Chains A and B, each alone.
Chain A
Amino acid sequence: MTTPLALGVLAGAILSGTSLLYATLGETLVERAGIVNLGLEGVLLIGASTGFAVAAGTGGAWRGLLAAALAGGLANVLFGWLVVTRRANQLASGLAMMFFGFGLSALVGAPYVGSVIVGLPKWRPGWLAALPWVESTTLFNYDLLTWLAIPVALLVWWVLFRTRWGLGVRSVGESPATAYAAGRNPGALQYQALAAGGVLGGLAGAHLSLSLTLTWSEYMTAGRGFIAIALVIFSKWNPLRALAGALLFGGAEALQLQLQARGSEVSPFLLEMSPYLLTLLVLLAWGGARRMAAPAGLGRTFYGSD
């Protein structure tokens, strides 16, 4: 692999991995609280469309970003009302959210299809641009979300593992009964995790429309929500591993694009499959030990009646 190709893949991985990372971090928080949101794809779409619509309508990418974050949070809270308060089936509710996202994003985005916006501004510090090979790539020329990707992942890790709130969330995800016996409020903690996760999901969607493509089209997330769900498993519900995983999975997509641009014979579809196959292989490798990695409370829903 030549250096320009490698750098191209790396650059592409970082770009496409950003939204993947935010989506994964959001879903990690939610699953750590014991809930699976299969409708993440819908939340991403809501974020992407809302962000784009507000940006195109009001001429401000920042406002768009804020709107996307709020919309994502609200969507997850709606989902939370179904699964926490009404105790609805998480899988069915997740799919309902997915369809809701398909439809709402189409409605919100419809007037703005084909609109042109000025996306999120990008910065590249001079000293980084001066490094060899960097000038011609997108490396280090990032918008705020990408620059904050690593800090946000660290923040999510820190919140989950170093704060009282995070301990409560993880306990609810492992054993609501024990959390309750310890005096916590499982429902409230789940709502809070969902809200935070939704905000991250909204940001993930917004990155696609406000930074990566600068357009809106229906279904533009193209399955990223499901890749993120796979990535949560692949990174063992750990935000730090999600960093590496997002780079890896994002890299697969970037590699595919680079190879196509170079007229390579390797089928892009094989690369697109890799996140799912990798996750399945990893699950197989854990075997029964999978139980030890997943939050125990996910067992009832995601894992059926094991």
Chain B
Amino acid sequence: MPESLARAGRALLRHALVALAALAMFAVILLLAHKDPIRAYLDTFRFALGSADGLIELVVRMTPLLLTAVAVALPARLGLINVGGEGQLYMGAWLASAGAFLLPDLPARYLLPIVIVLGFLGGALWAAIPGLLRAARLVNETIATLLLNYVAPLIVSYYIFGPWRAKGSSAYPQSPLYPDAAALPPLFGTRIHAGLFIALLALLFYWVLLEKTRWGLEMRAIGGNSEAAQRLGIPVARWIVVALALGGGLAGLAGMGEAMGIHGRLRQGLSPGFGFTGFLISWLAGGRPVGILVMAFLFALLTSAGDTLQITQGLPFAVVNILLAVILFIVLARRPAAGGAR
């Protein structure tokens, strides 16, 4: 149908314009810092998109972002705001690590599923706390998830510096390596790990759950009109807790993935803001699965650009955050009185 094609074309054009505008603004900032934006962009594209290593890095970075984005998108369908992805991620990594360290002698076919389940549980339970508080109308979930964000990494740090400290790592404390049985197998002999499957499955699960099941229907009803949903007999309080727990569990899987798939051990700084980035991805994508894929790709590309900037232009990696922020400013400023997430 030409109508919907035209609409899709217009949407694509809008997104392209936003990207161009952002790149232009960032270029100006780079120029002001006496850097060469053209070279920076060319270098980025050449590495990130033009080389196998670059593409692999993109996928590696996308994996946790997919999960943390769904962690926000799922509760958002009920009208819940989950800014606690960071914390849920850490608690997932923590609980999964606990499993790996407590059962080091199990063979992989048992240990790996256990570790995955624990990763999910860690994040789910951490998110269930704000869920219960919100369902009981005691504390709003936005603040609760935000506050718990900062408690979780400290719990992880406590264990890294304490009970789980690897010998000889006093300068830069971290846990010992996980037993091999707990490591997520790499795919195709690259840095991409099986966590990618989990992430893609999670995205699929999110879509199927919300769009195709009767539970998803009830959840969307709560998001659309929670008062009507209540009058129709839907157990609103129960779904609030479940939705937040599900979202937290997915973020927990991201944490498990980073720990077991990339680092091979538990260390501080596991997440350079994956949780917050996930919030923004979900918000920009309007909670739509395809949008989440695209946005996660874009954000991964941005971090790749950050690395390139650091290597070739001598700029701190953090500067790429300006480009990210400019994109967000443009999107935010374009929508008067409307949000992004449903």
Contact = CB atoms under 8 A, between A and B. Distances in A.
Q: Do A and B come from one complex?
A: yes
Interface in A197-230: 218-219, 223, 226-227, 229-230
Contact of B316 (A218, A280, A306): A218
The interface residues of chain B, by DSSP majority, are classed as helix
Interface string B311-332: 0000111111111111011001
Contact of A99 (B143, B161, B324): B324
Interface in B271-315: 273, 276, 279-280, 283, 315
A93 interface: yes
Interface string B146-164: 1111110011011001100
B133 interface: yes
A303 interface: yes
A280 B318 CA distance: 31
A284 B140 contact: no
Contacts of A226: 146, 149-150
A228 to B, nearest CB: 12
A127 interface: no
Among A86, A92, A93, A218, the one with the most B-chain Cβ atoms within 10 Å of its Cβ is: A92
Contacts of B336: 86-88
Nearest to A226: B150
Interface residues of B, number: 55
Contacts of A86: 332-336
B292 to A, nearest CB: 15
B27 interface: no
- Size category of the A interface is 35 or more
Interface string A229-246: 110010000000000000
Interface string A280-306: 100110011010000000000011111
B57 interface: no
B280 A88 contact: no
Interface in B114-173: 133, 137-144, 146-151, 154-155, 157-158, 161-162
A113 to B, nearest CB: 8
Nearest to B325: A100
Interface of A: 38, 78, 81-82, 86-89, 91-93, 95-100, 102-107, 110, 218-219, 223, 226-227, 229-230, 233, 267, 269-270, 272-273, 276-277, 279-280, 283-284, 287-288, 290, 302-306
